[in-house]
A and B are shown apart, each in its own frame.
Chain A
Amino acid sequence: MFSHRKSRRGALAVTACLSLAASLGACGLDSGGGEGEGGDDEIVIGVSLPLTGDFSEPGKGVQRGYEAWADYVNENGGLLGKDVRLEILDDQSSADRVASDYEKLINQDKVDLVFGPFSTRLVVPAAQVAQDYGFLFVEPAGAAEEVFTQGFDNLFYAAPAIADDHYNLLAEQIIAMPEGERPKTAAYATMDDPFAQGTAYGLKDKLEAAGVTTVADEVYPPNTTDFSSIAAKVADSKADIVVGGTQYQDAVNLIVALQQLNFQPKMAAFSTAPTNPEFPEAIGSKTEGILSPTGYTPDAKYPENQEFVEFYTEKNGTPPSEDEANAWTTGEVVAAAVEDAECADPSQECQQKLIDFLREATVDTVVGPLSWDAEGRPESAHLIQQYVDGEIRIVLPEDQAEAEFIAVKPQW
């Protein structure tokens, strides 16, 4: 496969040379008064996104985020004084297409920088191409552990935390509670899915280390429709805290099944579903005290975020959601590197400078300050939200909190 890639790259290089030769004259004419090597007065950023196919919904969200970011930068004096232009291709949610798209962007279109696509499935092949050419690769979607175990040294995930760390702030909060109030037993129910399971087991490891006993640990296949037996086992364990490694449908079904058994844990935390606007519609009034980690909320008080929400809402008519925010964050991270390195071109020196900067840096973004480990895992934490007075509010960390953390959940 590697030799195939090399030969394809060779062919592309020939094509690129020919097209470059044909356009050199025009370039020369254009760059009369310009500065720098390229001599042009804009920075071109190449992106491939799943605008059609399986991931088209989130893909379009990421596109809206990237475009809003570019508009914002251009309205505020540009990057290094130059305008930013996005070159967006559609990879149709295909892993083969995404690799050749980035080959084309780098080789043929001669983009100055690249941004990542959406979904782990597309991030991995795209990052491989960027790595081959020595490009910095900041990506908005690829939380699964496999993204960070491929040996990429150019990759950075522009979000607060990978799946295993989503519940970190909750873990800290629980561990810091006085001995008498801290939950002693925990029950886990999680979908057989790397992302959902990662969230619950990340918390399980931390709580077990702190002495919270696991009294139930249920894993169910993604197509499970009947949750009453799982709920019966969780209820029978009489756990103080129940933790769901869940997506949408399973969380809703599990919560209702637990309510039907009149099981009243002191704490209940479920990933993904509670932050979905449909969630309170499905559960009704019995949401009080339910906890959930979230990567982004328009309500977060970081100054960058307030500016983002205002700009985005004015442009699009609706506040941004997580996909748009992650895309915007990607833009912010790359821009910080460009401004520090004072360069934005495809040369090895420049790209390496950008990568080296991010290895050490902490960048202020709409999801809070971000820094990364050697494999590109972000080292922040997800916010923890909780239903307080019928509304989902940020309760952790304390400096972002909109409401006080409720340690003992009201009956549901």
Chain B
Amino acid sequence: MSGSLLLQSIILGLLLGGLYALLAAGLTLYFGVMRVVMIAHSAFLVLAAYLAWYFQRETGLDPLLSLLVTVPLFFVVGFTMQRLLLARLRPATLTMMSVLLTFAIALTIEGLLGYFFSGTQRRIQLDYSGSSIEFFGANIAVVKMIAFALAAVALLGLWALMKLTRFGQALRATIQHPEAARLLGINTDRIAGFGFGLGLATAAIGGTALSLDSTIYPSLHWHWIGPLMAIIVIGGLGSIPGAAIAAMVLGVSQSLLQVPLGTTWAQTVFYIALFATLMVRPQGFFGGRLAQRF
């Protein structure tokens, strides 16, 4: 492997890892707050990507502006979904039933996307799609940097929200010990709804970031849900920093392994890491006690 290819692969891996981290953040949040396995998360990503594409096609404006609409919209949809659907599942079977319920939601989204936009592959055409900046002989694509910046801002925002606000405190309390949180006067039901809305809002940002540099089609979400699930299990269910670190490590490993092994084998790094984690440290590397409750 030449030096420039090594540097290029590391940069590509970091950029890819940033995107993975953003996409997985919401997923680990649902797990953390209410033990919901949200299969439809990646379907919402694809939905947001379609909305960004549609917005750009209809208005001719930069797809990033669609975030002004999709982020609040997804927050409300997430809150409503949690209050109207997921909150009605019985706590004893919540985890399993949430898989079935969100599976159905994913299929519905896929079907509706196919109905409205057809199965044709779509891609946002930007003036800067192919542009890049040279960095010590490696090239960094502008769209990938924008996606990475979006991921960084969104994750830092999420972290600040969790650490620095009263809402974040309540959310963390709900994650750590729902009964104790309720005793302290926290309306855990509402907090859970907000937590879910927050998770879905990250899907809006992630989907838009994804749409900048990918061809999208209705069934694309099935390709994403597997790696994302692997990331949050390895990072530790419910841990956002865990998800971010696991995403970075896996993104860079995938990118580097691609050079000697080829694409087919490099993709298996997620599943090998998943098996290894489950054998060595089933609760994940950062999640701690939470995962042991399952």
Binding site for B on A (CB under 8 A): 192, 218-221, 223-226, 228-230, 232-233, 235-236, 248-249, 252-253, 256-257, 259-262, 278, 281-284, 286, 412
Contacts and interface: CB of A to CB of B under 8 A. Distances in A.
B12 A228 contact: yes
Given A219-B263, A253-B214, A236 B4 contact: yes
B23 to A, nearest CB: 12
Contact of A260 (B9, B141, B217, B267): B141
Interface string B1-44: 01011001100100110000000000000000000000000000
B258 A229 contact: yes
Nearest to B143: A260
Given A252-B215, A253-B214, A260-B131, A229 B121 contact: no
B214 A230 contact: no
A253 B200 CA distance: 27
Contacts of B120: 278
A218 B2 CA distance: 17
B104 interface: no
Interface residues of B, number: 40
A260 B258 CA distance: 18
Interface string B250-283: 0000110011001110110000000000000000
A226 B2 contact: no
B264 A220 contact: yes
A291 B129 CA distance: 21
Contacts of B80: none
B273 to A, nearest CB: 17
Contacts of B129: 256, 259-260, 284
B130 A248 contact: no
A223 B227 CA distance: 13
B125 A281 contact: yes
B5 A278 contact: no
A261 B12 CA distance: 10
B139 A218 contact: no
A244 to B, nearest CB: 14
Given A221-B263, A260-B144, A286 B214 contact: no
B121 A221 contact: no
Contacts of A233: 5, 258-259
Contacts, number: 97
Contact of B214 (A225, A229, A232, A281): A225
Interface string B106-128: 00000000000000111101110
Contact of B263 (A218, A259, A284, A412): A218
Contacts of A229: 9, 12, 254-255, 258-259, 263, 266
Contacts of B262: 218-220
Q: Which 4 A-B pairs have the closest CB atoms?
A: A259-B130, A260-B141, A229-B258, A220-B263
Given A226-B16, A253-B215, A261-B132, A236 B8 contact: yes
B259 A260 contact: no
A401 to B, nearest CB: 28
Contacts of B121: 248-249, 252, 278, 282
A249 B217 contact: yes
Contact of B220 (A225, A226, A262): A225
23 contacts: A218-B263, A223-B223, A225-B223, A228-B141, A229-B9, A229-B258, A229-B259, A232-B12, A232-B259, A236-B2, A236-B5, A236-B8, A249-B215, A253-B214, A256-B213, A257-B141, A260-B141, A260-B144, A262-B134, A278-B121, A282-B122, A282-B215, A284-B129
Nearest to A258: B130
Nearest to A227: B263
A219 B263 CA distance: 7
A260 B263 contact: no
A235 B132 CA distance: 14
B8 A221 contact: no
- Which of A230, A233, A257 has the most C-beta atoms of chain B within 10 angstroms of its own C-beta? A233
A51 B33 CA distance: 49
Contact of A286 (B123, B130, B220, B223): B130
A260 B130 contact: yes
